[in-house]
C-alpha cells in the first residue's frame, strides 16, 4: 500500500500519449491514517478495529483487512475494552463519548486539517453564530463536523440549496466547509450566500485542504490537452468524484473514474490520441501504475508527467500511538513513514 511514486518513464514518440497529473494520490492526512493502522497492527497485533473506512479507497481497506484490521460501521460493534481507530474523516463528540462508555482504547487518526474545521465550528458556536457548513450531507466528515455544534450548524450541499438557508441574525452568520469539495463550486456557493447575507463571515483560513486544491489544479492544467481523462479513485471518495467533474468542466471531452485498471473499457479511447491520468487523495500509487500498464496495452506508451505543485507536508502519528511506539523502542519516537512526495505548504 506504499504511496511512493517511482520515476516516471521518459516520454516516447510512438503511439498515444499519457499526461500524468502531479500532484496526485496520497495526501498527508491519508498517509498518516493508513500508517496509523499499519503501525497499530504491527505493535499491538490483530485485531485492530476501525470505525468506518480508514480512508475511502477499496484497495486500501481490503489490504488492511487482510492484515487484521476489522472495519465496523458504529462504535457499539467494537468489543468492550478493545482498541479502535477513528478514520481520517473525523468523528463527532458523541462518538468519543460512546467509545469512552465502552472503555475502548482509541487512536484518533482524524486528519489535522479536518480537526481544524472542527475547532472552527466549536469556536463560532461558542460565539453564538449560525454556521453554514458547505458540504455533502451524509459524508462522514460532514457528520463529524456537524456533531460539534448541531444546534448551530446547517449543511448546504451546493449553490442550489442557498435559498433554503434560514438564520436567526443575518449579521452573525459564518461559513465553513468540508475539506474535499470542488474549489469552484464552493466559491460559487459562498458567493450566493454572501448575496443573501452581506455580513457573512469567512473562516480564518481556507477549509478546502491543500491536497484537494493541488489535485484539482493539476487536472485543470491537463484537461484541455487530452481526449479522455481517467481518475483512479473510489466512488465514495468525495475528492476523487470531484476530480472527474473538474476534468469535464475544464475541457476534457470525456472522463471516467475507476477503482482498478481492469475496469477500463477500451471503447473509451476510440479515436483518442492523448489520455490524462490522475488519482484521488486516498489512492496508493500502485493503482496508478496498473492503469499506466493497461493503457500501454491499449497503445498509449508515452508518459509525460505534468507537475503544477510540489508537496512537502507530513503529519505525525496520533499522539497516544506515537507514545506507545516510543516506549516500546526504548525512547526513540515512532517514525511516520512519508510515502508521497509532500507539498510546499504549511498548515
The catalytic residue positions are: 141
Q: How far is CA 258 from CA 5, 106, 201, 224, 264, in A?
A: 19, 33, 38, 21, 7
C-alpha cell at 249: 468542466
Report how far residue 159's alpha carbon sits from residue 163's, in angstroms, rounded to the nearest whole number: 8
Query: 3-class SS at 254?
Result: coil
C-alpha cell at 55: 480512508
Residue 18 φ/ψ, nearest 5 degrees: -120, 125
Q: 89 Cβ partners below 8 Å, 6+ apart?
A: 52, 110, 111, 114, 139, 140, 141, 144
CB 134 within 8 A of CB 156: yes
Residue 134 φ/ψ, nearest 5 degrees: -80, 115
String of DSSP letters for 55-83: SS-HHHHHHHHHTTEEEESSGGGSPTT-E
CB 208 within 8 A of CB 179: yes
**Residue 51 DSSP symbol:** E
Amino acid at each position: 500500500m506504499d504511496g511512493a511514486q517511482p520515476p516516471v518513464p521518459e516520454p516516447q514518440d510512438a503511439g498515444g500519449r499519457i499526461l500524468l497529473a502531479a500532484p496526485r494520490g496520497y495526501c498527508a492526512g491519508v498517509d498518516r491514517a493508513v500508517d496509523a493502522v499499519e503501525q497499530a497492527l504491527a505493535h499491538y497485533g490483530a485485531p485492530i478495529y476501525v470505525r468506518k473506512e480508514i480512508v475511502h479507497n477499496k484497495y486500501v481497506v481490503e489490504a488492511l483487512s487482510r492484515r487484521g484490521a476489522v472495519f465496523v460501521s458504529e462504535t457499539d460493534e467494537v468489543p468492550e475494552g478493545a482498541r479502535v481507530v477513528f478514520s481520517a474523516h473525523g468523528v463527532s463528540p458523541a462518538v468519543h463519548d460512546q467509545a469512552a462508555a465502552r472503555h475502548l482504547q482509541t487512536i484518533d487518526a482524524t486528519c489535522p486539517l479536518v480537526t481544524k474545521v472542527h475547532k472552527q465550528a466549536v469556536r463560532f458556536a461558542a460565539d453564538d453564530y449560525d454556521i453554514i457548513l458547505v458540504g455533502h450531507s451524509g459524508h462522514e466528515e460532514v457528520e463529524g463536523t456537524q456533531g460539534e455544534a448541531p444546534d448551530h450548524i446547517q449543511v448546504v450541499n451546493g449553490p442550489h440549496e442557498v435559498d433554503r438557508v434560514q438564520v436567526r441574525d443575518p449579521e452573525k452568520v459564518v461559513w465553513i466547509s468540508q475539506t474535499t469539495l470542488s474549489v469552484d463550486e464552493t466559491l460559487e456557493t459562498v458567493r450566493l450566500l454572501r448575496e443573501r447575507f452581506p455580513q457573512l463571515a469567512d473562516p480564518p483560513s481556507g477549509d478546502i485542504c491543500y491536497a484537494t486544491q493541488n489535485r484539482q489544479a493539476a487536472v485543470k492544467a491537463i484537461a484541455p490537452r487530452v481526449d479522455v481523462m481517467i481518475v483512479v479513485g473510489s466512488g465514495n471518495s468525495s475528492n476523487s468524484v470531484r476530480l472527474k467533474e473538474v476534468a469535464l468542466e475544464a475541457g476534457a471531452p470525456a472522463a471516467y473514474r475507476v477503482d482498478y485498471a481492469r475496469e477500463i473499457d477500451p471503447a473509451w479511447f476510440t479515436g483518442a490520441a492523448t489520455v490524462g491520468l490522475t488519482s484521488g487523495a486516498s489512492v496508493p500509487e500502485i493503482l496508478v501504475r496498473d492503469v499506466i500498464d493497461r493503457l500501454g496495452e491499449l497503445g498509449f506508451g508515452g508518459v509525460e508527467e505534468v507537475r503544477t505543485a510540489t508537496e512537502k507536508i507530513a503529519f505525525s502519528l496520533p499522539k497516544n500511538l506515537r507514545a506507545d511506539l516510543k516506549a516500546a523502542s526504548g525512547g526513540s519516537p515512532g517514525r511516520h513513514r512519508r510515502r508521497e512526495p509532500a507539498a510546499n505548504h504549511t498548515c
